[in-house]
Chain A
Amino acid sequence: MGKKPEIFGTDPFDGDLAMRGYALNDMCFSFNEEANREAFRADEDGYMAKFALTEEQKQAVRNRDVLAMLEAGGNVYYLAKLAGIFGLNVQDLGSLQTGMSLEDFKQRLLDQGVTLRSGAMVKEGEGA
């Protein structure tokens, strides 16, 4: 496989990760259905066994350890579906992965806050 560039804190989801993470992502894909989310809530270990997660993946899920899930091949779009079951959104995930508090993580985004607007050639109206 092609050599990946070095990007701080970023591991592009390629064939290596796709192979490593298949079972975990497959389980997360099943969470599109509410009945499957319920089944997972009712028996996490049983549900993980059904999708043949590796021990590393199971442990990462049990520990709610997002970085370990990524390391085990989890793709963030699929992990987001699992995170939803735990009541976590992508900002919670950002906090967990960066080790910052949720408030600090949100504040770091707000600190870069900017609104740029141009309405050239369109009549200005309410809110434009």
Chain B
Amino acid sequence: MSKVLGGIFTSHVPGIGNAIARGLQQDPYWKPFFDGFAPVHRWLAEHKPDVAVVFYNDHGLNFFLDKMPTFAIGAAPEYHHEDEGWGLAFARPFPGIPELSWHIIEEVVASEIDPVMCQKMTVDHAVAVPFELLWPGEEGFTTRLVPIAINTVQHPLPSPKRCAALGQAVGRALRSWSGEETVVVLGTGGLSHQLEGKRAGHLNIDYDRFCMDNLAANPGALVQHSSLEIVDLAGSQGVEILNWIAARAALGEEVTELSRNYHVPISNTAAATMLVETRDAVTA
């Protein structure tokens, strides 16, 4: 039987990708963010998950506003990052696991949530940057990817409750998967930030702390706000917390927080990294 070992939550700012490409991890501006990955790297080295199910939002690489899915699940044998407009494309391909993707799609639709199904898709910095952060270097990725995109771009956005329901359905699929794979679930993006308008540069450290304090033990607290209320609190792009909410819901009831790193500012963003594990990780 497969095992869901834990969850990793991290910001995915494109600037982090540029910093990686330029080798700035020890630069005084970037170091407080990258240092947060030391416990994550140790945990990954110990547990070596076979699969990463990644909840993220596409920023205009695979999806345009002409056809904008609320939820989309990748079922491709392989995924690639591509140039998003600033000339940086990470070279390492992301191996897929389409048979697990289809099992997830089956369970999600059986739960009466209806995603777009993608046998071919590119993944943007919201997947590529976290993969680079988790498994740095040149070696090919061995952890296989199931990408699950949530619309955080074009309103109306799905509600936090709906995102949690999606996550729960994905979690049921993972726990009923007959394969032997071990799984880590990722939620990417956030925390508070706003790129546009006269409120550009908005941060909300109190709200971010509320999210981090409740993520492991009391994730229900995060779905009390509507998506527009989260825009108000966390900024237009801070609403990417929806990806965290879905990922947390996929992990089931009980998780233990292992590490947390929060650093302001990275570019215009309050950057955060959290690691939680399930009881299955303890007994794995």
Give the B-binding residues of A (Cβ under 8 A): 2, 4-5, 7-15, 18, 22, 25-26, 28-29, 31-34, 37, 66-67, 70, 75-82, 84-85, 89-91, 93-94, 97-98, 105, 108-110, 112-123, 125-128
Contact = CB atoms under 8 A, between A and B. Distances in A.
26 contacts: A5-B232, A7-B199, A10-B199, A10-B231, A10-B235, A12-B228, A22-B65, A25-B65, A32-B60, A75-B154, A76-B237, A77-B59, A84-B86, A85-B85, A93-B195, A93-B196, A98-B198, A105-B201, A112-B205, A116-B261, A116-B263, A117-B260, A118-B259, A119-B258, A119-B259, A125-B38
Contacts of A5: 228-229, 232
Contact of A120 (B38, B201, B257, B264): B257
A9 B197 contact: yes
Contacts of A8: 198-199
Nearest to A6: B232
Interface of B: 15, 31-32, 34-36, 38-39, 42-43, 59-61, 64-66, 82-87, 153-156, 194-203, 205, 209, 228-229, 231-232, 235-237, 256-265, 267-268, 275
A4 B34 CA distance: 37
A110 B39 CA distance: 26
Nearest to B25: A127
Contacts of A82: 85
Contacts of B209: 116
Given A94-B268, A117-B262, A126 B38 contact: yes
A28 B196 CA distance: 16
- Top 10 closest A-B pairs, CB basis? A81-B85, A9-B198, A9-B199, A76-B196, A109-B265, A127-B35, A122-B39, A14-B155, A128-B38, A94-B200
Contacts of B66: 26
Contacts of A115: 32, 261-264
B231 A75 contact: no
Given A97-B198, A119-B39, A91 B268 contact: yes
A109 B154 contact: no
A113 B264 contact: yes
Contact of A12 (B195, B201, B236, B268): B236
Q: Which residue of A77, A108, A128 has the most chain B CB atoms within 10 A of its CB atom? A: A77
B259 A13 contact: no
Contact of B83 (A33, A79, A117, A122): A33
A14 B199 contact: no
Contact of B195 (A11, A80, A121): A80
- Which among B65, B195, B262 has the highest number of chain A CB atoms within 10 Å? B65
Given A9-B199, A118-B260, A91 B39 contact: no
Contacts of A78: 60, 65
Contacts of A2: 156
Given A34-B87, A80-B85, A80-B195, 16 more contacts: A9-B197, A9-B200, A10-B194, A10-B196, A11-B197, A13-B154, A14-B156, A32-B82, A33-B83, A94-B201, A112-B205, A115-B264, A117-B261, A117-B262, A127-B35, A127-B38
Given A14-B156, A80-B195, A113 B265 contact: yes
